[in-house]
Chain A
Amino acid sequence: MLILEKIKKKIGNFEVKDISFKVDDGEILSLIGPSGAGKSTIIKIITGILKADGKILLNERDITKLPSEKRNIGYIPQSTGLFPHLLVKENIEFPLKRRKFKRDKIEEIIGAFSDEFDIKNLLSRMPETLSGGERQKVALVRALVYKPELLLMDEPLSSIDAQKKEDYIKLIKNIRKKYGVSIIYVTHNFDEAITLSEKLVVIKNGEKIREGAPKELISNPGDLWIASFVKEKNIFKGKFQGNLFCVDDSEICFHTPFSKEGQAFLSLRADEIIVSKEPLDSSALNVYKGEITEITNMNYNSQISVSCRGVLFKVIITNQSLERLNLKTGGKIFIHFKANSLKKLSGDF
């Protein structure tokens, strides 16, 4: 288990402020945030490359003041960090030699790992001759052979083509299962983050702004950047007038549960909007008539784009509902949503 307590670090004008979070045994935590948010700085602080104020505990061991080489952490940077002047085999031997393993033990470990990860044919090659996927695999093996207590992966899939990404994600899941190692995974990609991790920590401007399960962040992003990261389909910019929220450049004002003034962003989940051919007599305060501009079929659901007096709503309904209501592009429908379905988003204007 890794515990970060009130980590602070100032680098020039940039500051990491009071970052605290916990990674449980065998948990995969994704560290997400916009570019320059401080994710890599946090990773470097955990590895010991950067010294910081605060406390870092790894399996109840205080590693805050320990040099990198004594922390027993595996780190795979975006570039994989394979040493270009060493063969793949020499790269994998590197951490074992530092730990004074005997030659026959090194051979045994490399043999077992190269069988498991299917890299035997790569051992005598130079890193520059490997593909992006092969390099990642080798870097992963090198970071695992010495049984680290924590694995830090900084955007490992950025140099891998789309087809191989799925295999790599499976590989990471298997590693966690087999070796029980906790993983911190830095990514810009929402799909990777929710497929892999049990927990997301959102970093913005050097601060932790959210922490929670992917589902929690999806249902209530709370922040403009998180909303766009979790691919929130309906984000509205507008102005509060009491508990009404008037969407910019439109004639529509939503009823909201909030009462405030000034500019704001609101989000609305696409699956919380109800559509009907006729207006419904329901508790939903927001009812608008609109025109279907696009229908996109997904696996079991369909996404309908509905234009209502200058505002475009994205609505997710099941394919059965689509069929039952006989909805077609250009058709008129009513959309309904509760005031409580609107969520405030913090963020820059």
Chain B
Amino acid sequence: MTRSVRLAARQALLEQRSFWRSAEYALFTFAFPLMILLLIGAANVGSYLPGTHVKNTTVFVPSILAFGVIVAAYVNLGSKVAVLRHDGVLKRIKTTPLPSAAYLGGLLASTVATVVLITACTGLIGWLAFGAGPRPGGLPALTGGLVLGIVCFATLGLAISSVITSAESAGPIAYASFLPIAIISGVFDPTFGGLPQWMSRMVAAFPVKALAQLMQGAYTVRPFPAWDLVNLALWTAAGAGFVAWRFRWHS
């Protein structure tokens, strides 16, 4: 057991080194959420949510935290695993005595490290630029949101990797499968609303808004997010089921 943990940690270190070695990839992973944070954040300075005393940025910054989690856990991990499978790296791992759990554990640990870094950057810049920080006593909610977000979206990332058949399409498919939902979920626009009923039902069914609202709960007081928690749990279960059914070590 300890050996597996040690091996996973080593794998994670190698993954992180490789991640930062492809500078443009790492930069893009970080720059995309940060750019959106700064640009759209600046456009919302001084505005309040209609009929409240809650600043737009207080809701917007945690939404971008959720966005960062999804980029790192879903898009990056999903496309990474698809490329590893396509390149035959996963198959090669199967020729060694390394336990599968230790290898996947290493990939996940590296993903967690990326998520923590991206969250720290986004949170810090959101606080410095817009004065939006977690509310007093909001840290447990933030931590809980991060953990659930990583678990849910990393599982969905592994699931989507099994659908992607070529290395070239890995990134585009991963992004295209969540960006439209992120937009209609109002991740990029705190005042986004007035959707037709069928569309708001759809938004409520997907896990993007659920995670955004969990993160918002760390910044402003919200009612207990029962549905958001159930939503993420259901998506995690569905993703895990799909992974168990379709995950392959070779293409």
> Are A and B interaction partners?
no
Q: Which residues of A come within 8 Å of B, CB atoms?
A: none
Q: Which residues of B contact A (CB under 8 A)?
A: none
